[in-house]
Each structure stands twice: as structure tokens, then as C-alpha cells.
Structure 1
Amino acid sequence: MIAKFIREYRSFYFAYLVLSGSFILLFLLYKLPTEFLQNALLLSLTLLVLLTAGLFWKFRNRMRALEDYVHEEALPLLNKPVDLAYLNLIEAEKEVTREQLLVYKSREEDLQAMVKMWSHQMKVPLAALSLMSQTDNLHQADVDQQLLRLDNYMANLLNYLKLSNQASDFRFEMVQVREVVVDLVKKYRQQFLQREISVAIDGDWQLKTDRKWLSFALSQVLDNALKYNKTGGSVTIALDKGITISDTGLGILPEDIPRLFDEGFTGYNGREHQKATGFGLYLTKRVLHQLELDIDVDSQVEVGTNVRIFKSD
């Protein structure tokens, strides 16, 4: 404590020594009586000791208050401008820390809820596969369909975690979008055939983007176009300075369209048909934003839905 006190007031004591030396030098130069010099030094030293005692007492209390300032009774001792500025800085840092903890806690709660929801969704295809196995009714098309659902759910989960942790690895290159779309149609070909849904791809679009993440975003839109389409319906994919995916499905209620890309929002169709997780379009929007692309939805109930993806301005 004493060493800290000396460091705190070293400039004060250094100034005292300089003034005392100057005082002695003046006495010597003017050849004044040494008795006056002794009395002056003794008086100044006595005042210095008394002042030091008072300063040390306040310094000790302030140091203890700073160490335990969380106690309200200690705060009045910290009344110097420097102390107040220091306390304000600490309070600002604590407020930032509290806000960060709230964000982390909210994110952790959302993550736990999301994992629970996804695990529940993944039980459905697993149960279907288990039933097929138990009844020895393993048709290749049905098995492929359930495996595709599992693959999509797992991809959504992993990509959600990557985006949440900002650990996504975007690598931009020139991409022929038609090639990406064709690969996705091949991926979903069993569902197209099983539900007798026709698909047409028109045009092409060359874009500098990340192939993997663009494919993921398009797969979410195409998956919805299949899930909510009618048996014997159609899906049209037009490529011309953008991507327009049109289907002849159930359509979307007008009041649901503004909230389609909200996290966890399923809408009327998702709740009615129990097919939606509420994260597919949310992830699509986030990925497209990272790719500097925008998305727009136009739909009519019982007519179909048009989803347009285009370059952001």
C-alpha cells in the first residue's frame, strides 16, 4: 500500500524536494542565519508529515473502495473526477458485457430450441425407414425420398450453425447457374417422378457467386416448390439475369408473405400440412444476403407461387 501511495504522489514529493533545495540554496546565497533555515525546514516538514498522513488515509480508503466498489457504501469515497471517470468507464464496460451475455444467452436458447425442433423433424423420416425395414417394404424410391429429407434437415442444421457462428466459407467464382439448377433437379428427380410433377428449365445466367451456398439457397426454394405443389403439377425455372422458380402449388396467404423469411415462421401452409420447420427460407434469405442477392415472392392461393432471385442493387 505504501509503495502504491508513493507512486501515486511521487510528483508531489519531488516538487517538495525541489522547493526545499531552492529554499536552502537561497539561505546559503544570502547568508541568512541557520536558525531561521532550521525552523523553516522543521515547519515545512511537520506540515508535510501531517499532509502525508491525511493523504495516505484518503488514499487507503479510495484504494479499498476501488477494490470493493460494488458495495454501495463505498461509492461516496470515490468522488474525485478521475475516480468518477474510471467508474463511468467500468459501468460502460459492464453494460456492454451484460448486453453481450444477453445476446449469447438468447442465441444459446434459440440454438437449443432449433436443435430440439430439428431432432423432432428428423425422427419422421427415421421412423418411416424403420417401419419399412420392419415390414420388409423397402422400395428404393421411398427409401431415397426419406434419405433426401434427412440430408436436407442435416444440411439446414449445419448451415444454420455455420451462419450463426459466422464460420461460413464463401468462395466466389464465375458460375453457370443453369448447371447448379440441373444438379438440383437431378437430386430431387425421385420426388418429381413420384408426384408426377413436370419441370422445365429455360435460359441461363452467369454469375460470380459461391456455388455451394447458392445451391443450398436454391434447394430450399425448390424443396418448397415440391412440398406444396399439387400432384401432376409443374415447376418452371427461368434464368435471365436472375432466377425465377414458379410452381402450381397451394400458394401463400397474402398476410403470410411479409413474414416468410422470419426465423421460425411457418405460415398457414406449414402448420396445416406439418411440413415446415420455419428455418428454410430464413436461411435462404441470410445466405442470399451474403451472396449479394435478393429474393422476392409473389403468390396466389390455389394458383401457385413465383420466387425470384436477383442481383441486389
Structure 2
Amino acid sequence: MKKFWIFLKFEKSYLYMFIISNIVLGALFYTDPTISLKWQTFIYATTLNLLILAGFLLYRFQKNIQIVRQIDEEDHENLSFEGYYYQQHLEDLKKNQIRTINEIQFKQKEYHDFIISWFHEIKTPISVLSLMQQTEFDEKSLGEEIAKIEHYVDQALYYAKLENFHQDYEIVNCNVGRIVKEVVKNNSKAFIAKKIRLHLSLHSTVVQSDSKWLQFIVNQLISNSLKYTSNHGEIIISTEDTVKEKRLIIQDTGIGIDQQDLPRIFNRGFTGKNGRIFTKSTGMGLYLAQELSNKLGHYITCTSEENVFTKFVIHFPKNSDPYLETIKEIP
């Protein structure tokens, strides 16, 4: 019975139409002098109309109950224009919800895979340090292993901050040459250990960026060059200034990148042939560098020839406002 009263609440338009039509009809008979009104006939007609309305409402009620029971079925019937559009809206909401859940699950899986890979990576220098405690070790080796740990920890921290980037950035004028020299200084032991020659051709280049994040990006690219450049190799770092943009170029004489791998090197978790053969890799360094660059209004390109060279270029477009690009991502 409760369902029926709820049903009548939503069928008020039919009741109002019945009442108004009977009032209009009665008024017409009453005011027209040419019509001889017999109240018995009017009451009889009204009663018939009421029975027809009751039958119609009962039919509607039964139909509504039937549709409510079948509402989970894809091909269930709609009783109103409004119901049709509500159904479409609900279907869109379901699709968006499924899409959102899939995206969250995908991100959780990627984060889980990264953490597992990260644990495997960081175990190596920790194990080496443990062995050093038991044997004689030199200060140089100790420093190298600590530097590896710091590098992996930085990667994990920046990866964790990536989703909330807008809460931790400050756009300022950054001296690219100064940042490069600072990164080179931090990696000086690796340059010396592998006897890699360094050529700097840095003009006075100032860009708008976040100095901390930009330093991390440059460090990822230089570390990548150091990792894949053999002993006695060469790394050339230079800057260019064109009409449309400023560029930071990092080129090495390392093992290069396979042409099939080149389009995917900035993908999350991609290690490629080099990562599988020459050294263990989480495949996150270049991904983080590109993602952070994009958030700052910059972008990175790469060209390479296997066993000849690899060249990374950070592009700083002059018509791009990093601040505006970043706040667009704030929900």
C-alpha cells in the first residue's frame, strides 16, 4: 500500500488533469444556456471518467512495479521521457565510475610495481655496504654506494610527489648553467671513476622554472648519460637560444638507444634493451624527468644512434608560462 501512495505522489499530473477537465466540462454545461443540464447525467459521466482514471492508474502502477523489478536489465522499458534520460545519465555515471576505478587500480599497480622494483634496486648498494663492513673498503667505493642509495631515494620521493606537484613548486628565474654545474659537481666522482671527458658550452641562459625540480630533471639526464657511457667516453653539455625557445643539450658517446626502443623511453617503467642487458633499471628516471618537465611547461626530446651517441634536449618554450600550465592541473 505504501508503494501505491508513493506512486500517486509522482502521478499527480494525471489527477490534476482529471479534476481540471471535469471542472471545465461542468462549467461549460452550467454556463451554456442552450444546453439542458441534467446533473444525473453529469455525475454518471464523471463516475465513468473516474473509473477510467482508476483503471489507468492501476495499469500504470502495475507497469511501474514490473519495470522496477527489471531495472537492472539492459533492455528494460521506460515509462517516461524523463526516465529515459535518467537512465542514460545513470549509464554514463556507471561508465565514468568504472573508468575511474580502472585508472585508480592501474595507478596502484604501477606504484606497486615501482616499489617492488625500487626495493630490488636499493638492496644492491645496501648489500655492498654490508660486505664492506666485513672487509676492508676504500672511501671511494663507500661514496659511490651511498650516492646510489641517495639517487634511488630521490627517485622514490619525487615519484610520490608527482601527483601533488602543485602543492610543492615555486616558479623563479633559474640560471641553467649554474644548475648544470651543480649537478656535474654532485656526479664528479662518477666522471672521475669512468674517466669520462666533460665539455661545457654554457651561455648565460635564464629560464622560468622551479630550481629544485629542474635540478632533479637535469640530474636524471646526466646520470643516464653516465650510466650508459663507457670508460674514457665523452659528455657534451651546451645551451642554445632560438627565437622560439631556449635549449639545454646533453649529448654523450655512449651505447646509444635501439631505434625500436626510442619512442618509448619516456614511458613509465620502460627499461628497453639497454636496461635489460647492460644494467638493472627501474625505468622511472626518464619518465619522471619528462613528467616533471611537462608540468613545468618544458619538454624533453631524444635522438640517438646505437653505439654512436645519445642526445637529450630540454626545450624551454619562450611563449609558455609554467605557472599557468601548472595551475591548470589543480582540481
TM-score bin, normalised by smaller chain: 0.7 to 0.9
**Higher deviation after alignment, 182-191 or 297-306:** 297-306
AA partner of residue 39 (structure 2): L
* 1:213 counterpart residue number: 213
Q: Distance in 2 between matches of 1:293 and 1:119?
A: 31
How many residue pairs are counted as aligned between the two chains? 309
Kindly state the Cα deviation for residue 123 of structure 1 after the two structures are TM-superposed.
1.0
Note closer, same or farther for the CA distance 1:140–1:45 as it changes in structure 2 (3 Å cut): farther
Q: Could you list the per-position Cα deviations for residues 38-74 of structure 1 after superposition, in whole angstroms to 9, with x for gaps in the alignment?
A: 43224323432442243244235425633651146x8
Q: What is the TM-score with the length of structure 2 in the denominator?
A: 0.81
Question: More displaced, 82-91 or 209-218?
Answer: 82-91
User: Measured at CA, do residues 80 and 126 of structure 1 come closer, stay the same or move farther in structure 2, by a change above 3 Å?
Assistant: same
* 1:220-265 Cα deviation digits (max 9, x unpaired): 1110111112223332221233111122322233333233222222
What do the CA deviations read for 1:248-301 (whole angstroms, capped 9, x no partner)?
Answer: 322233333233222222222221112322221122222222222232323344
Give the conservation status (yes or no) of the 8 Å contact 1:234–1:248: yes
Q: Which residue of 1 aligns with 2:9?
A: 7
Structure 1 partner of 2:146: 147
Counterpart CA distance in 1 for 2:169 and 2:90 is 38
Instruction: Tell me how far apart the structure 2 counterparts of residues 53 and 103 of structure 1 sit (CA, whole Å).
Output: 51
- Tell me the SS of whatever aligns to 1:306: strand
Report the 3-state secondary structure (helix = DSSP H, G, I; strand = E; otherwise coil) of the residue aligned with 1:240. strand
**Match of 1:97?**
97
1:181-230 CA distance string (max 9 Å, x none): 12211211222222233333322311011112211111111101111122
Residue 260 of structure 1 pairs with residue 265 of structure 2: yes
The residue aligned with 1:16 is 18
Q: Secondary structure at the match of 2:76?
A: helix
- Quote how far apart the aligned CAs of 1:139 are: 3.1
Q: Is 2:283 the partner of 1:278? A: yes
Q: Aligned with 1:75: secondary structure? A: coil
Q: How does 1:149-228 map to 2 (within 5 A)?
A: 149-164=148-163, 169-203=168-202, 204-228=204-228
Contact 2:121 2:281 in 1 (8 A): no
CA-CA distance at 1:117 after TM superposition: 1.2
Query: What's the Cα RMSD here?
Result: 2.7
Question: Secondary structure at 1:311's aligned position in 2?
Answer: strand
Structure 1 segments, 4+ long, off by >6 Å, are 31-34
Percent of aligned pairs with the same amino acid: 25
